[in-house]
Amino acid sequence: MREIVLDTETTGLDPYSGHRLVSVGCVELENHRPTGKKYYRLINPERDVPEEVVKVHGLTNEILDKEPPFRDIVDEFLAFISDSPLVIHNAEFDMKFLNAELSMAGKPVLPMERAIDTLLIARRKFPGSRVSLDELCKRFGIDNSKRTTHGALLDSELLADVYFELLGGHETGSLFEEKKQTVLEIKAANEALRMPEKPRIEPRPPVFCDGELDNHEAFVKKLKKPLWLN
């Protein structure tokens, strides 16, 4: 199964406030492991990059002014990701920016259903724990020492390893087989243990004590216009 681990860097937090992509990085997976194929592009945002954001990813106006805008690389980007699921940490953020850029480029947007959000997976797996990319690297013993600043390609490479560990690491394949075998065993056991239908038990007629019926009839005669006689 082919998947694409994806990360972006931007000029800010909200594309609807005029912020844009400055880079996109992708790592191809096959059966949850990297194939060696990667895609990375710096992108001219066609606007200034705030100084506080440059401190996050190190991409200055001088660097990005030499790069193509997203509309010039959109076709090669879409060709690389094709129709594969997209593995993203905090998918809502990256998908929001990608779809804003795709719309401006006159391309169909990416449905959110394509995204596999590793942030949500980590929160379910480790409730109450910090689940940033750096924290997950520490948890799984993944070397992130080169991550002195955020970078779309480096972060995608690290996330590929984190994603593999979130799925069970080197036990992933055996876990899939175990689940498949367990399902078959349960199905077979249910067939073998299926109980025959219980015989229908007919209700027993009521039993009255001596004089009970006579007392009941005397009580009914005293009633004025009972409902069942209307």
Write the Ramachandran bin of 32: left for phi over 0, alpha for psi from -120 to 50, otherwise beta: left
pLDDT band at 71 (very low <50, low <70, confident <90, very high): very high
DSSP class of 16: G
Share of the chain above pLDDT 90, in %: 71
Cα 124 from Cα 116, distance rounded (Å): 13
- Tell me the pLDDT band of 200, cut-offs 50, 70 and 90: low
Cα dist from 216 to 221, 229, 230, whole Å = 9, 16, 20
pLDDT average, residue stretch 47-61: 96
pLDDT in tens, 87-110: 999 999 999 999 999 999 999 999
pTM, 2 dp: 0.73
Phi-psi region of 31 (alpha: psi -120 to 50; beta: other; left: phi over 0): left
User: What pLDDT digit, counting tens, does each position of 106-125 carry?
Assistant: 999 999 999 999 999 999 99
Residues annotated as part of the active site: 150
Query: So what's the pLDDT on residue 26?
Result: 98
- pLDDT given for residue 189 in this prediction: 45
pLDDT digit string (tens) for 122-159?
999 999 999 999 999 999 999 999 887 899 999 999 99
Question: If pLDDT is split at 50, 70 and 90, which confidence band does 178 have?
Answer: very low
- The domain spans of the chain are 2-181
Q: Give the chain's length.
A: 230
pLDDT digits (tens, 9 = 90+) for 5-30: 999 999 999 999 999 999 999 999 99
Domain 2-181 has CATH 3.30.70.370: no
Residue 165 has pLDDT above 60, yes or no: yes
